[in-house]
A and B are shown apart, each in its own frame.
Chain A
Amino acid sequence: QNYPLYIRSVPTENELKFHYTVHTSLDVVDEKISALGKALVDQRELYLGLLYPTEDYKVYGYVTNSKVKFVMVVDSSNTALRDNEIRSMFRKLHNSYTDIMCNPFYNPGDRIHSRAFDNMVNSMMMQVC
Chain B
Amino acid sequence: MDPAAAAAAEEEGREKPPVIYTMENKPIVTCAGDQNLFTSLYPTLSQQLPREPMEWRRSYGRAPKMIHLESNFVQFKEELLPKEGNKALLTFPFLHIYWTECCDTEVYKTTVKDDITKWQNVLKAHNSADWLIVVVESDAKKKNKTNILPRTSIVDKIRNDFCNKQSDRCVVLSDPLKDSSRSQESWNAFLTKLRTLLLMSFTKNLGKFEDDMRTLREKRTEPGWSFCEYFMVQEELAFVFEMLQQFEDALVQYDELDALFSQYVVNFGAGDGANWLTFFCQPVRSWNGLILRKPIDMEKRELIQNQEATLLDLRSYLFSRQCTLLIFLQRPWEVSQRALELLHNCVQELKLLEVSVPPGALDCWVFLSCLEVLQRIEGCCDRAQIDANVSHTVGLWSYATEKLKSLGYLCGLVSEKGPNSEDLNRTVDLLAGLGAERPETANASQSPYKKLKEALSSVEAFEKHYLDLSHATIEMYTNIGRIRSAKLVGKDLAEFYMRKKGPQKAEVYLQGALKTYLAEGWALLVTHTRKQLAECQKHLGQIENYLQTSSLLAGDNHLSEDERKSFCQEILDFANQQAENEGQKVTLPMHSFAQLKTLHFDPPNAVVHVGGKLCIELTLLSQMPIPVRLDQIAIHVHFSIEKNSYRKTAEWLTKHKTSNGVISFPNEVAGFPLSKNNLPALELYEMYERSPSDNSLNTAGIICKNVHMLLRRQESSSSLDIPSGLTLEDGAHVLKCNNLILEPGVNKITFSTQAKEPGTYTLRQLCTSVGKVQFVLLHIYPIVQYDVYSQEPQLKVEPMTDSLLAGIPQKVRFTVTTGHYSMKNGDTLQLSNADAMPILYHPESKAVIYSNTREKISESLLRIQSSEKITSISLPVAPAYHVIEFELEVMYLPSATESAVEKENTINKEVHRKKREKQKQDNCMATVDQKVTIDCPWSIYSTIIALTFCLPFNAKHSLLSAGKRKYVQVCVQNLSELCFQLSNNSLKNFAECTDLQLVPLNLESQQVIYSKQSIFFVWELKWTKEHPLSLQCLFSVSFRPATSEEQSFTLKPFTYEFQVENFFTLYHVKTEIFPPLGAEYCKTGSLCSLEVSITRLADLSEVDRDEALTESDGYCTTKLMYEVVDNSSNWAVCGKSSGVISMPVAARATHKVHMEVMPLFAGYLPFPDVRLFKYLPHHSAHSMQLDADSWIENDNLSVDKNVDDQADSSSIRSRGSLHSAASGEHKGLPMPRLQSFSSGQVFNCSTGMQILVIPSKDDHVLEVNIT
Which residues of chain A have a CB within 8 Å of any CB of chain B?
A: 1-4, 7, 15-16, 19-20, 23-24, 26-28, 30-31, 52-56, 76-77, 79
Smallest CB-CB separation from B523: which chain A residue? A4
- A3 contacts B673, CB within 8 Å? yes
Neighbour of B341 across the interface among A19, A31, A53, CB < 8 A: A53
CB-CB under 8 A from A16, the residues of chain B are 524-525, 528
The A-contacting residues of B in range 316-375, CB under 8 angstroms, are 340-341, 343-344, 347-348, 351-352
Neighbour of B266 across the interface among A2, A28, A30, A79, CB < 8 A: A79
- B351 contacts A26, CB within 8 Å? no
- B266 contacts A55, CB within 8 Å? no
CB-CB under 8 A from B477, the residues of chain A are 27
CB-CB under 8 A from A52, the residues of chain B are 395
Bitwise, B519-551 to A at CB < 8 A (1) or not (0) is 011111100100000000000000000000000
Of B351, B522, B525, most A-chain CB atoms within 10 Å: B522
Also in contact, A3 and B347, with CB within 8 A (given A20-B488, A30-B481, A77-B269): no
- A31 contacts B269, CB within 8 Å? no
List 20 additional contacts besides A1-B520, A3-B521, A23-B520; criterion CB under 8 Å: A2-B520, A2-B521, A3-B520, A3-B672, A3-B673, A4-B522, A7-B524, A15-B524, A16-B525, A23-B525, A27-B482, A27-B485, A28-B482, A31-B480, A53-B341, A55-B347, A56-B348, A76-B348, A77-B352, A79-B269
Smallest CB-CB separation from A76: which chain B residue? B348
- A53 contacts B344, CB within 8 Å? yes
CB-CB under 8 A from B485, the residues of chain A are 24, 27
B881 within 8 A of A: no
CB-CB under 8 A from A20, the residues of chain B are 488, 525
CB-CB under 8 A from A30, the residues of chain B are 481
Main secondary structure of the interface of B (DSSP, over half): helix
Q: CA–CA, A16 to B672, complex, Å?
A: 17
- B481 contacts A55, CB within 8 Å? no
Q: CA–CA, A58 to B393, complex, Å?
A: 18
Bitwise, B234-270 to A at CB < 8 A (1) or not (0) is 0000000000000000000000000000000010010
- B484 contacts A24, CB within 8 Å? yes
A36 to nearest B CB, angstroms? 15
A26 to nearest B CB, angstroms? 6
Chosen A-B contacts, 10 in total, with CB atoms closer than 8 Å, are A3-B520, A4-B522, A4-B523, A19-B524, A23-B517, A26-B520, A27-B481, A27-B485, A56-B348, A79-B266
B391 within 8 A of A: yes
CB-CB under 8 A from B482, the residues of chain A are 24, 27-28, 31
B483 within 8 A of A: yes
The A-contacting residues of B in range 456-492, CB under 8 angstroms, are 477, 480-485, 488
- B522 contacts A23, CB within 8 Å? yes
B338 to nearest A CB, angstroms? 11
Smallest CB-CB separation from B263: which chain A residue? A79
Smallest CB-CB separation from B343: which chain A residue? A55
A34 to nearest B CB, angstroms? 9
For the complex of A and B, the 4 pairs showing the least CB-CB separation, nearest first, are: A3-B521, A27-B482, A2-B520, A19-B524
Q: CA–CA, A3 to B343, complex, Å?
A: 32
CB-CB under 8 A from A55, the residues of chain B are 343-344, 347-348
Which residues of chain B have a CB within 8 Å of any CB of chain A?
A: 266, 269, 340-341, 343-344, 347-348, 351-352, 391, 395, 477, 480-485, 488, 517, 520-525, 528, 672-673
- A4 contacts B340, CB within 8 Å? no
B100 to nearest A CB, angstroms? 62
CB-CB under 8 A from A23, the residues of chain B are 484, 488, 517, 520, 522, 525
Main secondary structure of the interface of A (DSSP, over half): mixed
A117 to nearest B CB, angstroms? 19
Smallest CB-CB separation from B395: which chain A residue? A52
- A3 contacts B522, CB within 8 Å? yes
- B481 contacts A76, CB within 8 Å? no
Q: CA–CA, A2 to B518, complex, Å?
A: 11
CB-CB under 8 A from A54, the residues of chain B are 344
- B269 contacts A76, CB within 8 Å? no
Of A1, A4, A23, A54, most B-chain CB atoms within 10 Å: A23
Q: CA–CA, A52 to B485, complex, Å?
A: 12
Q: CA–CA, A20 to B485, complex, Å?
A: 9
Q: CA–CA, A3 to B484, complex, Å?
A: 13
A53 to nearest B CB, angstroms? 5
Q: CA–CA, A90 to B761, complex, Å?
A: 57
Q: CA–CA, A56 to B341, complex, Å?
A: 11
Smallest CB-CB separation from A28: which chain B residue? B482
- B395 contacts A26, CB within 8 Å? no
- A19 contacts B340, CB within 8 Å? no
CB-CB under 8 A from B347, the residues of chain A are 55
CB-CB under 8 A from B672, the residues of chain A are 3
Q: CA–CA, A16 to B559, complex, Å?
A: 12
CB-CB under 8 A from B520, the residues of chain A are 1-3, 23, 26
A56 to nearest B CB, angstroms? 8
Also in contact, A24 and B488, with CB within 8 A (given A55-B347, A79-B269): yes
Neighbour of B340 across the interface among A2, A7, A28, A53, CB < 8 A: A53
Also in contact, A27 and B522, with CB within 8 A (given A52-B395, A53-B341, A76-B344): no
Neighbour of B481 across the interface among A4, A31, A53, CB < 8 A: A31
CB-CB under 8 A from A53, the residues of chain B are 340-341, 344
B365 to nearest A CB, angstroms? 12
CB-CB under 8 A from B528, the residues of chain A are 16
Also in contact, A27 and B348, with CB within 8 A (given A16-B524, A53-B340, A53-B341): no
Q: CA–CA, A87 to B266, complex, Å?
A: 22
CB-CB under 8 A from B340, the residues of chain A are 53
- A26 contacts B484, CB within 8 Å? yes
CB-CB under 8 A from B348, the residues of chain A are 55-56, 76-77
- B391 contacts A31, CB within 8 Å? yes
A28 to nearest B CB, angstroms? 7
A21 to nearest B CB, angstroms? 9
CB-CB under 8 A from B480, the residues of chain A are 31
CB-CB under 8 A from A4, the residues of chain B are 521-523
CB-CB under 8 A from A56, the residues of chain B are 348
A126 to nearest B CB, angstroms? 20
A23 to nearest B CB, angstroms? 6
Smallest CB-CB separation from B517: which chain A residue? A23
